[in-house]
Chains A and B, each alone.
Chain A
Amino acid sequence: METEKTFVMIPGLEESEPVSLTPLQQSIQPHTLEIQAFWWAIWGITLVYVVTRYVIIPFFNQITRK
């Protein structure tokens, strides 16, 4: 049996609607953890690429030239 939701009434929000998700959000919601993992992977790959391409490789090139 579904129990009725209790809404927490912050002063000034008496006229507000309960928060709800849009249809697009409802379809994405089951996958939020996977999407977050995806963004972290992109973040990590980007950092590794930038550091390797613009810092580590030029640094070692500089050392080998000396």
Chain B
Amino acid sequence: MDIRETPLLRTLFSSPIERAIARAYRRIFSIDEIETTPLLQIATGALLFSFFIGLSRWFYSASISVSSYLNNEHTCWPYFQSCGEWYFLESLPFGYSQSILFMAAFALMALAAYLMYKKEWTLVHAILLVLWVGKAIILFALTQQLAANYDYYDTLLLFILLVFPHKLFFARLAFVLLYFLASTIKIHEGWVLGSYFTSLATGLPLFGNALSPIVTNFVILMQIIGSWMLLSRNKYLHLFAMLYFLSFHLYSGILVGFRYPAVALVMLLVLFGIQWRETHRSVPLDRKSLIGWCFVALMLVVQFIPISIPGDHKLTLEGNYYGLFMFEANHQCVSRTVTHYADGTTYEKIKQSMDAKWRCDPYEYWFAIKNHCERDARTERIEWTFDHSINGNPFYRIVDVQDACILSYAPLSHNEWIQLPEGGAVIVGYPLENFYER
């Protein structure tokens, strides 16, 4: 049977115009690559599995619900600060619409799995494209609260498999590049000294604190150099890199749980564990590959946005979520606001971080303050201080303003109201050991 003439596709696209549409769709998205490459078919299934886990984590989240917008509990991306005005779903317990939409997504995922079994790859592709668009809109447009690197992973890799020509090559390259770019997060005192982990009450898992700098610097080395060994034609180098990254994901899972290995470890095995001898096949440099190379360049550029913003972005968190940011620093913070009302009364509110991965982003606190100022006419001004410690270093008062209502936030540059230690931010105290998860 001709792969282009799969039974269901032939039934659904029967007229000449419909068949022309189907042909154009298949050509635009290079679907024949998926049909002729079993590895891509497995990768597509693995990413569907990752999407399933990711969406199941979002099912009850109120991050994009109308009530979160009305209660000022949402956080938009700095580049789209009015995102809440677009919310139309309501999550449990206040409504069913989000659950209905997510169950529709569930039905689509189940259908995609069945169509994979039937080898109807054009239809699988169309369903995954719909799911991808929905997830990308939630992740990169509607809320910053759900930003997580494991969701970046599957969204990015599925995008490559769905859209680009030379799918397998660019999926492998992007996967290696994700490790390579993740190393840029770690070139920082917290990882060079290993103080991210030694400032935890429970210390570095298995190895203990005494060896912490050796372990963390080895991770940096392997992410910079070892990641490229996954593409090596030397079987010993390839095997070494495979074993290392397998161990790395199993080890990091002690802290991060199943979600990250569910995408990263599975895709590592799929892309580099099966048919690994093909990983070094020729680099595509034809016209069709241009879009893939542009995307690779874009990955590099985006990762460098936070690095290009003046100041330690682990402390200021400016641009932090634009690239990979997992384990960028062990955070502790205290935000104190005093709201001054027109009638002369005041209300003090103190918010403290919960655990090491509580990102302590001044933007998130400012975003809530700004919305409060705009919505509550009784509010005259809000005094705000924000103290932030990373990796066991002192708490710096990085925000100290008399009226936070008049502040604005620039998404791609340094915000002068966030003070840097080198710019005069004062030390207000010292941290105690904290916990990774509470």
Contacts and interface: CB of A to CB of B under 8 A. Distances in A.
Interface of A: 5-13, 16-22, 24-25, 28-29, 32, 35-36, 39-40, 42-43, 46-47, 50, 54-55, 58-59, 62
Interface residues of B, number: 47
Contacts of A11: 352
B416 interface: no
A28 B429 contact: no
Given A8-B395, A46-B225, A29 B193 contact: yes
A40 B187 contact: yes
Contact of A6 (B193, B228, B392, B429): B429
Given A10-B353, A17-B201, A35-B192, A42 B225 contact: yes
B354 to A, nearest CB: 8
Q: Is the interface of B mostly helix, strand, loop or mixed?
A: mixed
- Where chain A touches its partner, the secondary structure class is helix
Contact of A19 (B189, B199, B213): B199
Interface of B: 180, 183-184, 187-189, 192-195, 198-199, 201, 209-214, 217, 220-221, 224-225, 228, 282-283, 285, 293, 332, 334, 352-354, 387, 389, 392, 395, 428-435, 438
A36 B188 contact: yes
A43 B220 CA distance: 10
Given A10-B332, A10-B434, A24 B213 contact: yes
B192 A17 contact: no
B292 to A, nearest CB: 12
Contact of B184 (A16, A25, A43): A43
